[in-house]
A and B are shown apart, each in its own frame.
Chain A
Amino acid sequence: MQSSAFLSRKEMIGFALLAALIFIVFPMMLDSFRLNLFGKYLTYAFVAVGLALCWGAGGILSLGQGVFFGLGGYCMAMFLKLEASTPENTSIQSTPGIPDFMDWNQLTELPWWWQPFYSLPLALFAVVAVPVVFAFIIGVAMFTRRVGGVYFAIITQAFAAILTILIIGQQGYTGGVNGITDLRTLLGWDIRTDEAKTTLYFVNGVLLFAVLFAAQYVRKSKLGRLLIAMRDQEDRVRFSGYNVANFKIFIFCLGAAFAGIGGAMFTLQVGFMSPTLVGIVPSIEMVIFCAVGGRLSILGAVYGALLVNWAKTTFSESFPELWLFGLGGLFIAVVMLFPNGLAGVWSEKIEPRLLALLGKAPADKSAPDGAPAE
């Protein structure tokens, strides 16, 4: 009988290794600047983990995850911006007490929908709730009408385009193409100092593990098996008496919630939020983080986000031209040569050799949950 324990021994080791890497190895090896950078990479891992559930398990490819990342990030940024825009700080503006970009755009009072973001609890609630509500609306509209596959991908991509254009076009309300910048303190605590950044890195790590455990719980529940079943035989699931749309809506909303948390942590650690993190390009790059990690593996998603972003920083610092070739090649290679990503390479190539070296027969011969989804 297949083990239904929350974590198999193998998975336990995987979680422990990742925890050691994030909480011990990185903080010991990296200076404060690099650690902050890795913290930024890890915020993308939130999105990638959500995609591993939506796309890897559920077969729902969203090319609009940047929308949810951005919404979460903007909710956080709005709170921080309001805190930074005290009448004293903004006394040189023609209307003191409102964010600077509003003043530049001749706004004379705070729009009503900015008001709730004076409150931290409301802002934190919004970080999760706003992306989830958006995802829910999109999900209900699309999934109950059985829009899926490439159509869903294209329409979510259109949403990424729409939100970007909207943010850039409404600069008086959103900060426009520059985004919301010059964020300073969180309840009086200066988030720009090295110590604050290190603390935020650890908060980020803890939240990431909370998200990973939630994702693992879903994967191991019957809902996780249903997702895979839906991906491969949607009609059959329907005729086993399940309302397929509800399950898709749920997993899409869960992915959005993860992305929203990631976005908020991005804002806190990097100190700004802008439409460049929302649009078509970042959204599809988030898919590649997941694909590189192995689209079904939630731990792989974290490694994928780390690796691709680390490569991006390294290459685009020294060989900016090479980077786009590399990224393009990565998209093609991961689809054509390594459809199961790092997780696949590990379980198919490295692990058997390792076990052979140790003189053990492979203990668990079950492959990762099957072939790539369409």
Chain B
Amino acid sequence: MQERFILKVEDLTVSFDGFKAVDALSFYVEPNECRVIIGPNGAGKTTVLDLICGRTKATAGSVRFHDQELLTMREDQIVNAGVGRKFQTPSVYEDLTVFENLELSYPKGHSVFGALVFKRDADVRARIKEIAETIFLEGQLDEKAAFLSHGQKQWLEIGMLLIQDPELLMLDEPVAGMSVAERKKTAELLNRIIQDRSVIVIEHDMGFVADIATRVTVLHQGKTLSEGSMERVQNDPKVVEVYLGH
């Protein structure tokens, strides 16, 4: 039996010294859905992703992925359960080559012993080559990541997520800081990789959002202001007021 929701966020709350950055937030993500979270600065968007992937500890509430409670799990356990996360600023291993960057994300040999005996066999090479082609970096496999352009680093990080093959992918502003050409290529890439999995995206670029979103959640001061299709959200007077009101 197919479950109705892959991710259930309920009453999620976190407070930093009394300030509630996320306040009793609830939302549900279906399989293969692409959920876009938008909202003004300081609405708590990144914090929500941080809470789901275990980077920040929640004060109250629950986050269930399939039927596992994520809030009590460590970051690496959450990742290995099938939740991938891309950060706002590209974070890749600058001192390692593109190949090695991808290799470290390959979902094998993640224990201490496993890493000691990990072999770079044909399967690993083939998979890395395949991913590198997807992210337009097949020519740069032996280059140190430090020498990549900003956009290429973003792609590399997306590639590192792809090789993990997560069921739920969380992307924090994947096209921020890119040139127009890179942005177009990235949008194409994202459109391809969000197939066959659930995705949560934080994004400001409304054209891009309209393009990919199944549903949109608007956050404001840590709470859901509005939720639904792009069209519905855009015409919600509350949303209009938050964005244009001041």
Contacts and interface: CB of A to CB of B under 8 A. Distances in A.
Given A2-B142, A236-B93, A239-B79, A225 B112 contact: no
Interface string B109-124: 1111001111010000
A363 to B, nearest CB: 15
B115 A241 contact: no
Given A225-B104, A226-B104, A233 B93 contact: yes
A240 B95 contact: no
A243 B93 contact: no
Interface stretch (A104-112, A215-223, A312-320): A215-223
Contact of A239 (B85, B96, B100, B111): B85
A247 B96 contact: no
A240 B116 contact: no
B12 to A, nearest CB: 19
Contacts of A233: 91-94
A238 B76 contact: yes
A250 B160 contact: no
A182 interface: no
B99 A225 contact: no
A221 B104 CA distance: 11
A246 B142 contact: no
B96 A229 contact: yes
Nearest to A230: B93
B53 interface: yes
B162 to A, nearest CB: 12
B103 interface: yes
Interface residues of B, number: 37
Contact of B79 (A225, A241, A370, A371): A241
Nearest to B125: A1
Nearest to A243: B76
A222 B115 contact: yes
A370 B93 CA distance: 11
Interface string A302-314: 0000000000000
Given A221-B115, A239-B75, A1 B141 contact: yes
Given A222-B115, A241-B76, A2 B91 contact: no
B72 interface: no
Given A1-B142, A221-B118, A370 B95 contact: yes
B116 A221 contact: yes
B234 to A, nearest CB: 32
Nearest to B163: A240
A369 B41 CA distance: 39
Contact of B111 (A1, A2, A217, A246): A246
Nearest to A236: B91
Q: Is the interface of A mostly helix, strand, loop or mixed?
A: helix
Interface in B116-158: 116-118, 120, 141-142
A241 B80 CA distance: 6
B88 interface: no
B226 interface: no
Interface in A222-256: 222-223, 225-226, 228-229, 232-233, 235-244, 246-247, 250
B177 interface: no
Contacts of B238: none
A4 interface: yes
Of the listed residues A229, A239, A243, A369, the one surrounded by the most CB atoms of chain B closer than 10 A to its CB is A239
Contact of B112 (A241, A246, A371): A246
B181 to A, nearest CB: 26
A223 to B, nearest CB: 4
A232 B76 contact: no
Nearest to A225: B100
A242 B76 contact: yes
Interface of B: 53, 55, 74-77, 79-80, 84-85, 87, 91-97, 99-100, 103-105, 107, 109-112, 115-118, 120, 141-142, 160, 164
11 contacts: A1-B99, A221-B117, A222-B118, A223-B112, A229-B95, A239-B87, A240-B104, A241-B76, A244-B76, A247-B112, A370-B95
Given A238-B76, A239-B75, 18 more contacts: A1-B99, A1-B142, A221-B117, A222-B103, A222-B109, A223-B118, A225-B96, A228-B96, A232-B95, A233-B91, A233-B92, A238-B79, A239-B53, A239-B87, A241-B80, A241-B105, A241-B110, A243-B74
Interface of A: 1-2, 4, 217-218, 221-223, 225-226, 228-229, 232-233, 235-244, 246-247, 250, 369-371
